[in-house]
Chains A and B, each alone.
Chain A
């Protein structure tokens, strides 16, 4: 199976608030609250970390099997990419010149 690479859209704003990752699309103001697993995937979506490595990270952090983690990741990626806030590619991406708006 070919590898996938995830990149956060530059047209979003996000912030970790009270332990929850809040993400808002700056295009249509759609609002998302990510659970812990989704937050790990979101934070690792840097364009050059392979999805398989992200799934391994989820397995070790949350003590879930690889199949469950991969299925959860697929669902999460499908939903966010449908809204255009997560981009999926078959190749590693160069760092964007306009990174997402994110605050500590």
Chain B
């Protein structure tokens, strides 16, 4: 029997150890998450055994479902099944050897980890400029990848698709993620305090407008990644979003697709 191979993927300061008996899959994961792989096997609070299947567990176009079964979370989609016990920090993933299933499982697990801390994953590009992080949130087509492509050389891109928001004692931080959109490029693995949240809209001029906290909450809730059908967790996400909009200024950024928009972001 082949030896178990372990690889630790650390996103947002949360390392997750993946154990697999398939060295080719381990290499695939290492390549997919380059920049987010911990160089040596650290002590991880979260560990998963990955069982590789020859066919998907439920070959179908089934949407992702996340629910609680006893102390564990159960994650399912046509191409994967997973169980995770947060208290024990251990779980098991069943999937074929592809990068998309593990990517989805990691996103879901991070939403669950962050929800316990008052943070969340957000459909948003993010970048650091002058030591401060800026978030650019919007649904598909709103301009997340466009604003990322237009970023000036002094901006450090954290992601063009999924922003990682952590809550700390001194406020909120945005962390880089390997979750990319059309840019097909991982973000930088670093973080900075969040200065501002922009809701993106395409327009005929570059313009920044204030939005009320209530409007910010409504839009933010639409753009937070959340999968679990669980009342307690939904309540936690709601409270986290409320606290975020009370502390972080939110504005609407209407922009033309040219680099001048970045002169307004500093």
**B residues 129-167 touching A (CB-CB < 8 Å):** none
Cα(A76)–Cα(B143), bound, Å? 38
**B residues 163-218 touching A (CB-CB < 8 Å):** 212-214, 217-218
Cα(A26)–Cα(B221), bound, Å? 13
Question: Chain B interface residue count: which class?
Answer: 10 to 19
Contacts of B235 in A (CB 8 A): 13, 26, 101
A73 within 8 A of B: no
Given A29-B234, A31-B218, A31-B221, check contact A101 B213 (CB 8 Å).
no
If over half of B's interface residues share one DSSP class (helix, strand or loop), that class is named, otherwise mixed; here it is: helix
A40 within 8 A of B: no
A103 and B231: CB pair below 8 A? no
Tell me, rounded to whole Å, the shortest Cβ–Cβ distance linking A20 to chain B. 4
Cα(A33)–Cα(B216), bound, Å? 12
Contacts of B256 in A (CB 8 A): none
A18 within 8 A of B: yes
Residues 1-33 of A, flagged 1 when their CB comes within 8 A of B and 0 if not, give 000000000010101011110101011010101
Cα(A38)–Cα(B238), bound, Å? 20
**B residues 219-237 touching A (CB-CB < 8 Å):** 221, 231-232, 234-235
Q: Using a Cβ–Cβ cut-off of 8 Å, how many residues does chain A contribute to the interface with B?
A: 16
For B231, give its contact among A11, A15, A20, A22 (CB under 8 Å).
A11
The closest CB in chain A to the CB of B226 belongs to A29
A15 and B218: CB pair below 8 A? no
Contacts of B221 in A (CB 8 A): 24, 29, 31
The closest CB in chain A to the CB of B230 belongs to A26
A101 and B239: CB pair below 8 A? yes
A17 and B231: CB pair below 8 A? no
Tell me, rounded to whole Å, the shortest Cβ–Cβ distance linking A21 to chain B. 9
Cα(A26)–Cα(B235), bound, Å? 6
A20 and B239: CB pair below 8 A? no
What are 28 A-B contacts with C-beta separation under 8 Å? A13-B234, A13-B238, A13-B239, A15-B238, A15-B239, A17-B213, A17-B217, A17-B246, A18-B212, A18-B213, A18-B214, A22-B214, A22-B242, A24-B238, A26-B231, A26-B232, A26-B234, A26-B235, A26-B238, A29-B221, A29-B234, A31-B218, A31-B221, A33-B214, A101-B235, A101-B239, A103-B239, A103-B243
Show the binding face of A for B, using Cβ within 8 Å: 11, 13, 15, 17-20, 22, 24, 26-27, 29, 31, 33, 101, 103
